[in-house]
Structure 1
Amino acid sequence: MASGIPIEITGLTKQFGAVTAVDDLTFTVEPGKVTGFLGPNGAGKTTTLRVLLGLVRPTRGTATFGGTPYASLTRPFESVGAALEATFHPGRTARNHLRVYATAAGLPRSRVQEVLDQVGISEFADRRVAGYSLGMRQRLSLATTLLGDPGVLVLDEPINGLDPEGIKWIRGFLRSLADEGRTVLVSSHLLSEVQQSVDEVVIISKGRLVKAGTLSSLELDAEAQTIIDSPDRRALAAALDAARIPYTEGRNGLIAAEPDPAVVGHAAFVAGVEVSSLHRLKSGLEESFLALVNGEAE
């Protein structure tokens, strides 16, 4: 296995005519971790990955593997495994698909069976890819990236469209790759898809970095609120209105835009409204993520 090396994006900008797809983007992906590269569709994730892999030339800035551009890697297939847009000849079997790639990369044929076993599709290796489910195609795509036993994995939306069993498998598999010391970068437009498998997140929106750090740091960015309920919600709502405390109606009560339950409870007390529940509520990771990409948080 090639050793994991950092992915380094520095001041990266890519313009297509008048459109700026990536705007002065800087972040680092470290070995031994699974990093989620997140943002809504059209945020610039795929363009960034295509620049990183030498498929698109940047307008400004650099995207390297430990300081070395992909085109300058001595044996790129054995350093970096990448899966962006997986395409397969429908008439080929999975085994023959992998043999073509192994031959092109100068790798021993023994690697074909090894990666088939690694991703769990040996039983179906001699079936034509045309008959594969989406989950099996995703596994074959991952097998292709692993042929060179690379230290860096760059995967674009690998969980997209998988069933629950496939999602559970790929989460565990990505974790095992990082535990071996590899650098694993996984893109997704949904935090919920990857939050159980990533250590770090890099979030972009409209081509710009909006957050880079651990999942726990993302949770700390969540805005605290207070949930309060009463047998008489109409009176409770009037009490919050009178106290000028903004709120929305939730399933278990009114969600007040006020972090201190004492302030919310006092508003109800002053109005003589009976309170049946009162506690601090913190937004979840997904809410924090959506706030960031929608420009609602710093």
Structure 2
Amino acid sequence: MTDTDATHPSSLSPVISVNNLVKYFGRFVALRGVSAVFDAGRMYALIGDNGAGKTTFLRALAGLTKPTRGSISVLGNLDIHSVCRYFGYMAHPSLLYDEMSGVENLRYFSRLYGIRNDQRCAEVIRLVGLDPQLARPVGQYSQGMRQRMSLARVVIHDPKVLLLDEPFSNVDVSSAREIVELLAQMRDSGKTIVVVTHQAQLLEGAADEFVWMREGQIVSRTSDSQSSRREPEER
């Protein structure tokens, strides 16, 4: 398969396909045979208790954690690193440089993707609801502003897939809802979005599917967060 083929999969093909993913850390089993598909133009909320395997799964999707066994296909390609430029990964906590302004941060990260258009930086800052003329260091931003700037960093290169780890952490409800609206707009533009969160209620009405994890497994996938939290049926 050529790189062109990999980046233009059939409209019927999932953007991400995971098959029997297992991950050990020493003797601890973090992922236990996870299989799942994620489609274009959909937003998924990945929820579960601490230690359920959510962040490990997200990092595996991003190519940052190598699975012990199993496979992940992204855009039709089993070599994740060959298509990683089509990802936008938001870690928890943020990867921003506190001593730089928002524009300086985006200018730095955009250069990593070969983008040398400062207009693109200003455009993305406005997209997330911030002022590109704001000169003060990111270290002086409120938590809501920091999360918006983190999202700007994630989308600076216009990725096809967004993988977000706790984007609403320590953010006030009003700012969190505005971030959800931004994510919904990006989803509607055709992006695949996977959000790890402990605040699933914020994504009610926005997420297309709630994926509940427990003890390294996906135990249910539903259209609302409340039914996701019910005990799954015995298999």
Q: TM-score range by the shorter chain?
A: 0.7 to 0.9
CA contact (8 A) 2:42 2:191 kept: yes
Instruction: Calculate percent identity across the aligned residue pairs.
Output: 32
Map of 2:101 onto structure 1: 93
Structure 2 counterpart SS, 1:122 = coil
Map of 1:170 onto structure 2: 179
Structure 1 counterpart SS, 2:230 = helix
Runs (4 or more) in structure 1 with deviation over 4 Å come to: 2-5
Structure 2 counterpart SS, 1:88 = coil
CA contact (8 A) 1:191 1:289 kept: no
Partners of 1:16 and 1:191 in 2: CA distance:
27
Task: Name the CA shift for 1:125/1:29 in 2 (closer, same or farther; >3 Å).
Answer: farther
TM-superposition CA deviations, 1:31-52 (whole Å, max 9, x none): 1111111111111011111111
Partners of 1:202 and 1:60 in 2: CA distance:
21
C-alpha displacement at 1:205, in angstroms? 0.4
CA contact (8 A) 1:81 1:152 kept: yes
Structure 2 counterpart SS, 1:144 = helix
Partners of 2:200 and 2:111 in 1: CA distance:
37
Q: Say how many residue pairs are matched.
A: 221
Q: Which of 1 and 2 has greater Rg?
A: 1
1:71 equivalent among 81, 101, 118: 81
Counterpart of 2:48, as a letter, is G
CA contact (8 A) 2:212 2:229 kept: no
Counterpart of 1:100, as a letter, is Y
Whose RCO is larger (CA < 8 A, sep 6+)? 2
Structure 1 counterpart SS, 2:116 = coil
1:83 equivalent among 77, 90, 97: 90
Structure 1 counterpart SS, 2:115 = coil
**CA RMSD in angstroms, aligned pairs only:** 2.0
C-alpha displacement at 1:125, in angstroms? 3.5
CA contact (8 A) 1:27 1:212 kept: no
1:212 equivalent among 217, 221, 232: 221
CA contact (8 A) 1:40 1:190 kept: no
C-alpha displacement at 1:181, in angstroms? 1.2
CA contact (8 A) 1:188 1:194 kept: no
Tell me whether 1:200 sits opposite 2:209 in the alignment.
yes
Structure 2 counterpart SS, 1:291 = coil
Partners of 1:41 and 1:198 in 2: CA distance:
21
CA contact (8 A) 1:33 1:182 kept: yes
Structure 2 counterpart SS, 1:148 = coil
Partners of 1:144 and 1:88 in 2: CA distance:
8
TM-superposition CA deviations, 1:232-273 (whole Å, max 9, x none): xxxxxxxxxxxxxxxxxxxxxxxxxxxxxxxxxxxxxxxxxx
TM-superposition CA deviations, 1:93-112 (whole Å, max 9, x none): 11111111111210132321
C-alpha displacement at 1:117, in angstroms? 0.9
With structure 2 as the length reference, what TM-score do the two structures score?
Answer: 0.87
Structure 1 residue runs of 5 or longer lacking an equivalent are 216-284
TM-superposition CA deviations, 1:202-244 (whole Å, max 9, x none): 11101011012433xxxxxxxxxxxxxxxxxxxxxxxxxxxxx
> What pairs with 1:139-150 in structure 2 (closer than 5 Å)?
139-150=148-159
